[in-house]
Amino acid sequence: NAGVTQTPKFRILKIGQSMTLQCAQDMNHNYMYWYRQDPGMGLKLIYYSVGAGITDKGEVPNGYNVSRSTTEDFPLRLELAAPSQTSVYFCASRAGSTDTQYFGPGTRLTVL
Amino acid sequence: AQSVTQLGSHVSVSEGALVLLRCNYSSSVPPYLFWYVQYPNQGLQLLLKYTTGATLVKGINGFEAEFKKSETSFHLTKPSAHMSDAAEYFCAVSRMDSNYQLIWGAGTKLIIKP
């Protein structure tokens, strides 16, 4: 099992550009999550999904969009990148029967 | 609303000394409590968790934590620090009735002095 994978590892964007952060898991987990991690702030939930075709907003969804067309994939889209979106982004997943989330290695995004 | 407070953004201990990382939470219903560890440039990894039952829980790498309801605390300890313990540690709380969504503390960076 690869677990939770994320691409790219690093990315630099210019203000106003768009991009998609990819997340995939091979554990057949129903639940998937996107977090951002800012220094000294802990993790903030952006969006989550309870299964294919079902997504919902977390604590800080503004400026982001998600989709969940398959169980395995949960991409995060930034439409108009802003400097405030400079952060490290983590994807996580968990099985419906457990309370433990498994994390990917993260994507470090800088918006200049 | 639930919240998690980790006391100290940085904790420095000598190799071989006791490690104590503090976590206090607020929750109106019995919480599930977690400690995750993040090594440099890596994702987060579950260290240990409390759901129900025994209030002293043991995790990986010799860490343990005790759930104290009266103090609303879930402090993380390790009797003897090792250089490899240098990492950032996050406390989190979730509730079964909120789909196990996690509320995170700000993290504590553990520094080990040789």
Contact with chain B for residue A49, Cβ under 8 A: no
Contact with chain B for residue A39, Cβ under 8 A: no
pLDDT in the model for residue B96: 63
User: Is pLDDT of B60 > 90?
Assistant: yes
- Sheet of A19-25: strands edge to edge? A4-7, A19-25, A76-78, A64-66
Q: How far is B110 from chain A (nearest CA, A)?
A: 14
What is the C-alpha separation between A18 and A26, in angstroms, rounded? Answer: 27
Per residue in A14-26, pLDDT (tens digit) is 999 999 999 999 9
Q: How far is A43 from chain B (nearest CA, A)?
A: 6
Q: Which of A99, A104, A106 sits opposite B100 (nearest CB)?
A: A99
Contact with chain B for residue A48, Cβ under 8 A: yes
Rounded to 5 degrees, φ, ψ at B96 are: -60, -35
**Contacts A90 to B, Cβ<8 Å:** 43-44
pLDDT in the model for residue B28: 72
Q: Which of residues 3-32 of B touch A (CB under 8 A)?
A: 4, 9, 32
**Residues of chain B with pLDDT > 70: what percent?**
96
Give the residue-averaged pLDDT of B22-42: 88
**Contacts B107 to A, Cβ<8 Å:** 40, 42
Q: What is the mean pLDDT of chain B?
A: 91
Per residue in B76-112, pLDDT (tens digit) is 999 999 999 999 999 999 866 666 788 899 999 999 9
Q: How far is B97 from chain A (nearest CA, A)?
A: 12
Long-range contacts of B111-114 (CB under 8 A, 24+ apart): B111/B10, B111/B11, B111/B12, B111/B13, B111/B86, B112/B12, B112/B13, B112/B14, B112/B15, B112/B81, B112/B82, B112/B83, B112/B85, B112/B86, B113/B12, B113/B13, B113/B14, B113/B15, B114/B14, B114/B15, B114/B83
**Among A93, A99, A103, the residue to mutate for chain B (most B Cβ within 10 A):** A99
CB contact under 8 A, A104 and B43: yes
What is the C-alpha separation between A39 and B85, in angstroms, rounded? Answer: 20
Q: Which of A43, A100, A106 sits opposite B46 (nearest CB)?
A: A100
Q: How far is B87 from chain A (nearest CA, A)?
A: 14
Can you give the pLDDT of all 112 residues of chain A as single tens digits?
Answer: 789 999 999 999 999 999 999 999 999 999 999 999 998 788 999 999 999 999 999 989 999 999 999 999 999 999 899 999 999 999 999 998 778 899 999 999 999 9
Beta bridge partners of A58: none
Higher pLDDT, B43 or B62: B62
